[in-house]
Amino acid sequence: MLAGRLGRFAAPVSTVNKHYRRLVTTVPQVSSEGVHIKWDDDGERTTHYHNVWLRHNCHCPHCLADYNNQKTIQPAQLVNTRVTKATIEGDVVKLTWQQQGCDDGVHEGCIPLQWLKHHDYSDHQLNKKMKQAQPTPAPMGHLPEVDYDKVMDYDKVLWRWLWNLNEYGVCLVNNVPTVPGSIVKVTERIAHIQETIYGRTFQVVVQDKPINIAYTGEALSLHMDLIYYESPPGLQLLHCLRMTALVLVTRNDNSIIGGESLLLDTYPVLEELRNNYPEQFHILTRVPATFQKIHYKRESPVHIVSQVPHIVLGEHEEIVAVNWSPAFEGTLQVSPVDVEPYYQAYLLLAKLFSTSERLFQFRLLPGQLISFNNRRILHGRNSFYSEGEGVRHLEGAYVNIDEFNSRFHVLNRKFGSQPPKRVFNHSIL
């Protein structure tokens, strides 16, 4: 019966020995703690896999449904489990466990060798993965660009757009039709639009009695949008529809004075804070700030409050999330001993952000769409006013960070050669 279960993992007979020799040439060693596998294609490095880890990752049909890749094991039954035998059959490791919860106290299963190697969790491999996933600082002085028509027509150009967003956190899309709603078409090339309290899309244009300061001509300090959400928007897209009273304009039109867009990659600034001011850095990883949107004087009243630190670290001290939005900070509610240290660290980071040489300023023109990772890149704008009947009109939309990440992984598997970078969704993977 086990032979049948192994069928979907085993390579054809003609390739088994070749692949087997390429990965391992020694029999896995079983100890009381788990299984040791020596990888011959990686400098004869040996990896130790724990008994319980192997049992939770068994790939046999009893534990993993091949039609949807979901686990079907019952965790409460996996107690006192221990590998008693490990052999290699083709491209899989065949394992036998002794455990409570089975009728005969034995479970037989298997795990593909290539899968084991890819999910090696030794310190050496984790450090390697963290280094590979480290973001590349956004370029200074210019923005990566793609063309709208090519994005819409070719998946490889769509991948290049998402690659820029994954690598640098920002990318400009040129030649987008200056027609309201065009942002929907281009955004849905990535994923479903993330609807928020501002709707499915939103109009950044001067309004009477605006529900957000963005809908005025006031300057906007560097910030992230909707950071008070439990899951803030991942990508933000802003499409310039109009910059004057005319729908079709020349690039030399100056009827709007000011209004330049501002972008700043938080990642290199935070690493600068960590390297030069480690005490303040760690205060901002430990003491939670309050973010809120409490607004009852609007058609649909809103009351959202969350407490999260400005910097979130993973198990190995890597930055996995950032939270920054001064205009939407609520009252600090922390232990009295943390109040002064928090504000000292907070003001230091605010200064580093505002004075960073990496701050990028540019004018978004009609037909251009700026896209950026709202969980990594701060954005803002200079104040502006119009001469005569000038109008500055941007249309915006959001994409959930995990839906973007999923879309990029799928396309990168087809077109890319390098592993993805982390996207600040609280994970390094």
CA distance 405 to 166: 8
| Type of residue found at 368 | Q
Query: What's the rounded mean pLDDT across residues 279-289?
Result: 98
Domain ranges, residue 111: 2-121
CA distance 166 to 409: 10
Does the pLDDT value for residue 14 go beyond 60? Answer: no
Task: Read off φ and ψ for residue 127, nearest 5 degrees.
Answer: -65, -40
| Residue (of 138, 137, 139, 143) closest to 364 by Cα position | 143
Task: Quickly state the pLDDT bin for 179 (edges 50, 70, 90).
Answer: very high
- Render pLDDT for 330-340 as a digit per residue (tens, 0 to 9): 999 999 999 99
* One domain, residues 340 and 226: yes
CA distance 80 to 270: 44
Task: Quickly state the pLDDT bin for 101 (edges 50, 70, 90).
Answer: low
Residue 245 lies in a domain: yes
Least confident residue range of 100-114, 156-170, 193-207 = 100-114
> Using CA of residue 178, residue 184, residue 185, residue 188, what is the dihedral sign?
positive
* One domain, residues 32 and 143: no
Task: Quickly state the pLDDT bin for 75 (edges 50, 70, 90).
Answer: confident
Task: Quickly state the pLDDT bin for 428 (edges 50, 70, 90).
Answer: confident
Which residue, of 96, 121, 146, is where some domain finishes?
121
CA distance 180 to 395: 7
* One domain, residues 263 and 328: yes
pLDDT on residue 22? 60
46, two tokens = 């040996």
Residue 145 lies in a domain: yes
pLDDT on residue 253? 46
Least confident residue range of 67-81, 268-282, 370-384 = 67-81
* One domain, residues 213 and 259: yes
Does the pLDDT value for residue 307 go beyond 60? Answer: yes
* One domain, residues 91 and 146: no
DSSP 142-162: ---EEEHHHHHH-HHHHHHHH
pLDDT on residue 9? 35
* One domain, residues 195 and 86: no
* One domain, residues 359 and 377: yes
Q: How many domains does the chain have?
A: 2
Q: 204 with 394: CB under 8 angstroms?
A: yes
Q: What is the pTM of this model?
A: 0.86
The H or E element spanning position 329 is none
Q: Which segments within 99-218 are labelled E, that is strand?
A: 106-112, 145-147, 170-174, 202-204
- How far the first Cα of the chain sits from its last, in Å, is 35
Q: What is the CATH number of the domain that holds 220?
A: 3.60.130.10
* One domain, residues 115 and 188: no
Q: How many CB atoms lie within 10 A of CB 333?
A: 11
Least confident residue range of 193-202, 217-226, 273-282, 355-364 = 217-226
Residue 95 lies in a domain: yes
Which residue, of 121, 144, 171, is where some domain finishes?
121
Which residue, of 121, 150, 174, is where some domain finishes?
121
Question: Percent of the chain, pLDDT > 90?
Answer: 67
Task: Quickly state the pLDDT bin for 100 (edges 50, 70, 90).
Answer: low
Query: What's the rounded mean pLDDT across residues 36-50?
Result: 84
Does the pLDDT value for residue 18 go beyond 50? Answer: no
pLDDT on residue 8? 35
Quick check: helix, strand or coil at residue 242? Answer: strand
* One domain, residues 162 and 61: no
* One domain, residues 15 and 51: yes
57, two tokens = 């990752």
CA distance 312 to 2: 45
Query: What's the rounded mean pLDDT across residues 91-115?
Result: 86
Residue 383 lies in a domain: yes
Q: Which runs of consecutive H residues, i.e. helices, occur in 168-200?
A: 182-187
pLDDT on residue 389? 65
Most confident of 231-245, 252-266, 379-393: 231-245
Task: Quickly state the pLDDT bin for 208 (edges 50, 70, 90).
Answer: confident
Residue 425 lies in a domain: no
Residue 348 lies in a domain: yes
| Residue (of 337, 394, 420, 377) closest to 182 by Cα position | 394
CA distance 357 to 355: 6
Order across the sheet with 92-98: list the strands: 82-89, 92-98, 106-112
Does the pLDDT value for residue 292 go beyond 70? Answer: yes
Bridge partners of 396, per DSSP, are 202, 238
* One domain, residues 264 and 166: yes
Order across the sheet with 377-381: list the strands: 220-223, 377-381, 261-265, 360-362
Q: What is the CATH number of the domain that holds 79?
A: 3.30.2020.30
Quick check: helix, strand or coil at residue 54? Answer: helix
* One domain, residues 139 and 275: yes
Query: What's the rounded mean pLDDT across residues 9-23?
Result: 41
Query: What's the rounded mean pLDDT across residues 270-292?
Result: 98
Residue 273 lies in a domain: yes
- Higher-pLDDT residue of 89, 148: 148
- Render pLDDT for 247-275 as a digit per residue (tens, 0 to 9): 344 443 447 787 889 999 999 999 999 99
Residue 421 lies in a domain: no
